[in-house]
Amino acid sequence: MNLETVMKELEDLGKERMKKMYISNGAHEPLFGVATGAMKPMARKIKKDQPLAEELYATGNYDAMYFAGIIADPKAMTESDYDRWIDAAYFYMLSDYVVAVTLSESAIAQEVADKWIASGEELKMSAGWSCYCWLLGNRKDTEFSEDKISKMLDLVENTIHDSPERTKASMNNFLTTVGISYLPLHEKAVETAKAVGIVEVKRDNKKSSFLNASEGIQKQVDRDKLGFKRKYVRC
């Protein structure tokens, strides 16, 4: 399949209801409003195709950019490729669910995510923290430095309430993920979550969200999900 046929198929799969929902979350034109599940048959046909993924991502069409993440070859992408993708990710559903997810399957995931977390830019920081959520929820605990993750928990405790809004949400997710999926620091994550307390995330034209990592961790513990790891990151 080439760019033209994929774009035509995505357009045919578009639904006005999904389009409105994506726009309410921050997407803007061009987009078709394709449910992610509806993309799976086409993804199974194509499998991985990095050149096509690059063409799709460059369209600026939200659905095409999302589909690019599904068929991308993370190991074929360089740091500059990931930087280019994050620069074009204009809202959190792209930064956290396309770019961060794709990055999490590459060998350079931690070093790129570390750089983005230190950038001071809201969506880059959000993608960096989100990437660690995908990593911790999928890879073995032994692949991470306990000291490094511990320092990241300290950084969350000390800076989350003063961070940009979307970054706050991803930092809170990181705190919850460490508490559930990274057993060496479960206890510290629980203590950090208590110290952080409720996190208010303000959203344009919507009511604020109030996030509680402590509650989130406890819910999963109650469901016997401690140590949970996903088999796959991408759909």
Q: Name the token pair of 190.
A: 């629980």
The answer as to whether 194 is a domain residue is yes
pLDDT average, residue stretch 208-222: 97
d(CA 69, CA 5): 17
| Cβ contacts of 201 within 8 Å, gap of 6 or more | 165, 166, 168, 169, 172, 208, 209, 210, 211
* C-alpha closest to that of 127 among 181, 161, 90: 90
Task: Evaluate whether residue 15 is within a structural domain.
Answer: no
Q: Name the pLDDT band for 235 (thresholds 50, 70, 90).
A: low
**Position 96 in a domain:** no
Per-residue tokens: 122: 């809201």
Cα–chain-centroid distance for residue 134?
7
Tell me the CA distances in angstroms from 192 to 131, 150, 151, 226, one per residue in order.
Answer: 20, 10, 11, 17
Distances (CA, A) of 162 to 90, 166, 172, 196: 22, 12, 13, 12
Segments forming the whole domain that contains residue 145: 109-235
- pLDDT at residue 36 in the model: 95
- pLDDT tens-digit readout, 52-83: 999 999 999 999 999 999 999 999 999 999 99
User: Does 152 reside within a domain?
Assistant: yes
The chain-wide mean pLDDT, for the chain, equals 97
- 38 assigned to some structural domain: no
Question: How confident is the model at residue 163, as a pLDDT?
Answer: 98
Number of domains in the chain: 1
171 belongs to a structural domain: yes
